[in-house]
Amino acid sequence: MLKFVIPLILFLVMAVFLAMGLSLNPRDIPSPLLDKPAPDFSLPILAEPDKILSKADMVGKVWLLNVWASWCGSCRAEHPVFNELASKNIVPIVGLNYKDDPWAAKQWLAQLGNPYQVSVMDQEGRTGIDYGVYGVPETFVIDKQGRVRYKHTGAVTWNDVQQILLPWVKQLNAEI
């Protein structure tokens, strides 16, 4: 009897762990930045390259930082979602145009619409490294004091906006 029960139990335990492993997304790496101050940046603005936007300019507001690039396929997929969100005027969205060609980036926005209050250019990807960006698109929710409170890796869907991003924005707006 025991001869069959023990292998069966071992098998079940392994099956449970393997099933858990299958349902995990290996691309979803927890960000060590959570609840820490968002890294500083001072980057030229895509539309007016002689002007600079830095993190300090956003202090006092809850805002989204969306990392995007014209060469990135999933960015195209999530773009309509951000257009829709921007049209509701709930939260400012700042674009971090990551390792992109400015001309191609502007072209992209002209074609697909521009949900960003402003986009800044990180042509060398240094701000990307500071934010731990490893797969575009990524979206950060940043609070009034400039701390990263939530990070989304990969394309954002309208579901994510309603169930994750907007509740975060609401909660953070309620904070002093």
Residues that bind another protein (CB under 8 A): 26-27, 29-33, 39, 99, 124-126, 128-135
**At closest approach, how far in Å is the CB of 150 from another protein?**
15
- 149, 25, 121, 117: CA torsion to nearest 10: -50
Q: Where are the beta strands (DSSP E) in the chain?
A: 42-44, 52-54, 63-68, 93-98, 118-122, 138-142, 148-153
Nearer to another protein, 74 or 171 (CB): 74
Nearer to another protein, 56 or 129 (CB): 129
Rounded CA-CA distance 26/29 in Å is: 7
**119 three-class SS:** strand
Nearer to another protein, 11 or 134 (CB): 134
**At closest approach, how far in Å is the CB of 132 from another protein?**
4
Provide the 10 A C-beta neighbour count for residue 130.
Answer: 14
**At closest approach, how far in Å is the CB of 54 from another protein?**
19
Among 94, 171, 174, 85, smallest CA distance to 131 is for 94
**At closest approach, how far in Å is the CB of 165 from another protein?**
22
Nearer to another protein, 121 or 161 (CB): 121
Nearer to another protein, 33 or 169 (CB): 33
Identity (one letter) of the amino acid at 101?
D
**At closest approach, how far in Å is the CB of 81 from another protein?**
23
Cβ(157)–Cβ(39) below 8 Å: no
